Amino acid sequence: MSPRLRTAAICAAVALCPCFAIAQRATIVGRVVVLGTDVPLGYSVIGISPDAREQFTDSDGRFALRDVQAGRVRIWAKHIGHTPLDTTLDVASGDSITLHLELRLVSIQLP
């Protein structure tokens, strides 16, 4: 192999490495709704750790967490007026996981 061809091959391999690393990560998609119903909780907060990220759901309660590290992942959902949900998942490389998260309405009696 000529030195020029070898250099081109090495450059191509280095350029493609990040793509392979991203492809080995997981994706978690889902929807947040009111417990026992199909009523969406739009603009809920979804969090994930160990990545330490948070994001809002869309107006229909849907979310997508891309580029999630493989391993044990803690995910939580919260929305004003509802009890927060906190759970742990075991995620494998390349997984595509769909979640249906239900939050319980908090009833408060005013004096």
Q: Are strands 62-68 and 26-34 parallel, antiparallel or unpaired?
A: antiparallel
Token pair 């869309």 in the structure block, residue: 58
What's the gap between Cα 38 and its chain centre? 21
Q: Does residue 22 surpass a pLDDT of 70?
A: no
pLDDT at 20 over 50: no
| Closest by Cα among 109, 104, 87, 93 to 33 | 104
How far is 82 from 104, CA to CA, in rounded Å? 5
In terms of DSSP H, where are the helices of 2-110?
3-23
Q: What's the CA angle centered on 82, arms 78 and 87, to 5 degrees?
A: 45
pLDDT value for 8: 47
pTM of the shown model: 0.76
Contacts of 87 by beta carbon, 8 Å cutoff, 6+ apart: 74, 75, 76
pLDDT tens string 38-68: 999 999 999 999 989 999 999 999 999 999 9
Q: What is the mean pLDDT of the chain?
A: 87
The per-residue pLDDT for 108 is 85
Instruction: List pLDDT tens digits, range 76-85.
Output: 999 999 999 9
Tokens representing 106?
């908090």
- Arithmetic mean of pLDDT, 96-111: 94
